[in-house]
Amino acid sequence: MSGDSTPRTGETRRAAAAGTIEIPVDGAGSMARWWPRARFVAMLWLMMLPTIAGLAIFTYFPNLETVKYSLYKWDGGAVEEFRLFYNFKQIFGGGDPRYWAAFSLIGVLLAANLVKMWPSIFTAIVLHRLKSERWQFFYRVLFVVPMVIPGLVGLLLWKGYYDPNVGLFNKLLNGIGLMPVLNSLDTAMPALAAFVNGNLLVWNSANPLWSILLLPTQIITPLFGGLWGMLVFGFVLLLLRDGVQTIPGRWMLWVMVMAFAVLTWGPNPFENPLPFLARGLILLGGGALLVEWLRKRDSIEGKDVVARIAAGVLITAGLLVLLSKIWVDPTNAFINGNPSWLGHSKLVVPAVIVWGFPWIGTVGVLIYLAGLANISKEVYEAAELDGIGFWGKIFRIEIPLILTQVRINLIFLTIGTLNEYGFFLILLGPDGGPDNAGLTPGLYMYQKAFIQSEMGYACALGMVMFTLILFLTIVYQRHLKVDK
């Protein structure tokens, strides 16, 4: 393509109009060859210059600087002292248990978010199935309207709902009689946990292999902590359904994901690596074999066994993680009927999870709707003639066809959850609330940087996070192209 860079003067135009002959630009010399093209490309780059400059200065430069400062002791001001890998030794050498503990919170949140994704999808499907176009448009408009409330106001409103005495949440719970139920569960659930715990202890002491895998003194917490690994497992299963076709490719994926899972599994994997390694290997080997076997069956029987198992694993693991985080010990918060949801270390996480009920992101609904709109009427009609039912339509037509949107959403969900801190900062303050119950890795980073002025250390934490996200991104990249 030739450019528009050639000057177009009045003379040439008039000359052309008058039909006069112009002096030919002679010389097929190499200069004449590449010069117009070079000028043309330069023009294109010039048009992108603002973007490039902005990106370089305001995005890449700060991010690259964190790499530099991760090797420094830096307070954000004058104190700047190079100390090589000291920060990283601190992080990985057991000097920072709170950071690694923060990752198990991420596990819980991720599980919760995976569940919270579905109401939007179902709403979109219901909306899509409305027969009347006018009603559809009407609802779509209504779905956008709540966006006028500034995001922060929504947040502060919910914070108000959770107020122990005047908050609407407690009033609601008391009003519909759920509070006494919660109170009785508060004794029942810990009893159940203790029962399971006791039985496991007995079995555990009789089984030497078990003691390698789990720390013998506390069983139920690490077990449930391990569900994070299960979550990852389910996730990978889901991803593997269609994607990497070669066996070595899948195994590489496994190694990466499992390394990640093991890393974020429990407290600090680097203090006592053996059980973590053992668990990791079991997950890696067993899981991968299982998947290979399932895939074979899948391709033979043409069923979505893998997907179903993945969904099952995800749901169970999610539920178990949620439960385990709350009710190993009695909270004693419900007796007076005014639990302080954001002020009790055991209630912070449930409060965060219930947050935003019924979890319908209106923009999310519209995006799914966009995917659904691509399904042609003929597909539905054909399916109806084939005798498809209500659920069949959902699981065999609609969800498979919006899978792209769902997957993209999953990526951003994961990365978003890993990075999350703004929400917790506003809600719980830089400490993450009582007992740091709501301390995410991101918030911890924020705390280190802005409260404790250990900016160099915060940069090092940022680098760790970056590596994790890089891994995840690579994994996802193998399954869907960013620009598709």
Partner 1 sequence: MTHQSHLRFKEWCKHALLCCVLFFAFVPFFLMLMISLKTNDQYTTNPWWFDAPSQWCWANWTKGWNTVGHYITNSIVVAVGSVLLCLTISIPTSYVIARYRFPGRELVYYALMATMFLPGGAAALVTTFKLISSMGLVNNLAALVLLSGIGGQVSCVFILRQFIEEIPKELFESASIDGAGHLRQMWSIMLPLSGPVIGTLAIMNFLGAWNDLIMPLILLRDDQMLTIPVGLMRLDGEYVKMWGELMAGYSIAAIPLVILFLFTIRLFVRGLTAGAVKG
Partner 2 sequence: MAGILIKDLQKIYDNGYHAVKDANLEIRDREFMVLVGPSGCGKTTTLRMIAGLEDISGGEIRIGERRLNEVAPKDRDIAMVFQSYALYPHMSVYENMAFALRLRKMPKPEIHAKVMEAAKMLSLGNQLEKLPKQLSGGQRQRVALGRAIVRQPKAFLFDEPLSNLDAKLRGEMRYELKSLQTRLATTAVYVTHDQIEAMTLGDRITVMSVGEIQQVAPPTVVYEFPYNRFVASFIGTPPMNFVTGKLVREGDTWSCEMAKGQRFTLGMKERGKLAENLGKDVVLGVRPEHLHAPQVAPAGCAVCPMKVDVVEHMGDHQYIYLLLDGVEDTVIMKAPPQVKAAPGDIMPVHLDTAAGHLFAGTHEHAPNITLPAGFPRQQ
- Asked whether position 386 contacts partner 2 by CB under 8 A, the answer is no
Tell me whether residue 345 or residue 453 sits nearer to partner 1 (CB atom): 453
Number of residues that bind partner 1 (CB under 8 A): 100
In the complex, least distance from residue 316 CB atom to partner 2, rounded to whole angstroms: 50
Measured in degrees and rounded to the nearest 5, phi and psi for residue 24 equal: -70, 140
What is the C-alpha to C-alpha distance for residues 258 and 441, in angstroms, rounded to an integer? 20
Binding piece for partner 1, criterion CB under 8 A, among 164-172, 193-201, 235-243, 320-328: 164-172
What is the C-alpha to C-alpha distance for residues 231 and 97, in angstroms, rounded to an integer? 22
Beta bridge partners of 73: 81
What is the C-alpha to C-alpha distance for residues 73 and 123, in angstroms, rounded to an integer? 50
Which residues, at least 6 apart from 266, have a Cβ–Cβ distance to it below 8 Å? Answer: 100, 104, 222, 225, 226, 276
Binding piece for partner 2, criterion CB under 8 A, among 13-21, 49-57, 151-159, 389-397: 13-21
Which member of 156, 274, 277, 289 binds partner 1 (CB under 8 A)? 156
Cβ burial of 325 (10 Å; 0-12, 13-18, 19+) is buried
Which member of 18, 24, 77, 208 binds partner 2 (CB under 8 A)? 24
- Asked whether position 421 contacts partner 1 by CB under 8 A, the answer is yes
Residues 239-298 that bind partner 1 (CB under 8 A): none
In the complex, least distance from residue 150 CB atom to partner 2, rounded to whole angstroms: 35
- Asked whether position 405 contacts partner 1 by CB under 8 A, the answer is yes
- Asked whether position 387 contacts partner 1 by CB under 8 A, the answer is no
Which member of 11, 18, 19, 302 binds partner 2 (CB under 8 A)? 19
- Asked whether position 25 contacts partner 2 by CB under 8 A, the answer is yes
Q: Report what 170 binds from partner 1, partner 2, none; CB cut-off 5-8 Å by kind.
A: none
- Asked whether position 26 contacts partner 2 by CB under 8 A, the answer is yes
First-to-final CA distance of the chain: 26
What is the C-alpha to C-alpha distance for residues 298 and 238, in angstroms, rounded to an integer? 13
- Asked whether position 79 contacts partner 1 by CB under 8 A, the answer is no
Which residues, at least 6 apart from 441, have a Cβ–Cβ distance to it below 8 Å? Answer: 99, 102, 103, 106, 418, 461, 465
- Asked whether position 42 contacts partner 2 by CB under 8 A, the answer is no
Q: Which of 122, 180, 208 is nearest to 406 (CA)?
A: 122
Q: Check the CA dihedral 260-264-269-274 and report its sign.
A: negative
In the complex, least distance from residue 28 CB atom to partner 2, rounded to whole angstroms: 7
Measured in degrees and rounded to the nearest 5, phi and psi for residue 19 equal: 75, 15
- Asked whether position 406 contacts partner 1 by CB under 8 A, the answer is no
- Asked whether position 2 contacts partner 2 by CB under 8 A, the answer is yes
- Asked whether position 321 contacts partner 1 by CB under 8 A, the answer is no
Overall residue count recorded for the chain in this entry: 484
Q: Which of 4, 7, 44 is nearest to 25 (CA)?
A: 7
Residues 170-189 that bind partner 1 (CB under 8 A): 171
Which member of 168, 290, 379, 388 binds partner 1 (CB under 8 A)? 168
Residue numbers at the binding site for partner 2 (CB under 8 A): 1-6, 8, 12-13, 16, 19, 21-22, 24-26, 28, 32, 35-37
